[in-house]
Amino acid sequence: MGRDGPVKENLATDKIGGYLTGMPDLPPKLLPDLPAKTAPARSYHHGDLRAALLAAAEDELAARGVEGFSLRQVAKRAGVSHAAPAHHFGDAQGLLTALAAEGFRQFLAAQSAREAQAAPDPASQLVAAGLGYVDFAVGRPALFRLLWQSERPNFRVAELQQAARAAFQHLVDQVMAAGGRSTADEAAAWAMAHGLADLLASGRLESVGSLPPEARDAMVAGLIRRVLPAG
Q: What is the pLDDT of residues 61-114, one digit of tens each?
A: 999 999 999 999 999 999 999 999 999 999 999 999 999 999 999 999 999 999
- Residues facing residue 20 across a β-bridge: 15
**Higher per-residue confidence, 94 vs 47:** 94
Using DSSP's 3-state secondary structure scheme, residue 24 falls into: coil
Angle at 167 between CA 162 and CA 75, to 5 degrees: 65
Distance CA 153, CA 61 (A): 13
Q: Which CATH superfamily is domain 26-225 in?
A: Tetracycline Repressor, domain 2 (1.10.357.10)
pLDDT of residue 47: 62
**Higher per-residue confidence, 98 vs 26:** 98
Asked whether the whole model's pTM tops 0.85, one would answer no
Rg (CA), the chain: 18
Distance CA 7, CA 9 (A): 6
Distance CA 177, CA 174 (A): 5
Closest CA to 84 of 39, 59, 54, 63: 54
- Residue 25, pLDDT > 90, answer no
Angle at 202 between CA 199 and CA 207, to 5 degrees: 55
Residue 46's pLDDT band, with cuts at 50, 70 and 90, is low
- The answer to whether the CB of 23 falls within 8 A of the CB of 143 is no
Distance CA 76, CA 142 (A): 19
Residue burial 187-222, b: 16+ Cβ < 10 Å; e: rest: bbbbebbbebbbbbbbeebeeebeeeeeebbebbbe
5 conformational bin, left if phi > 0, alpha if psi -120 to 50, beta if neither: left
CA 159 to chain centre: 15
Angle between helices 92-117 and 49-64 (to 10 degrees): 90
Residue 19's pLDDT band, with cuts at 50, 70 and 90, is very low
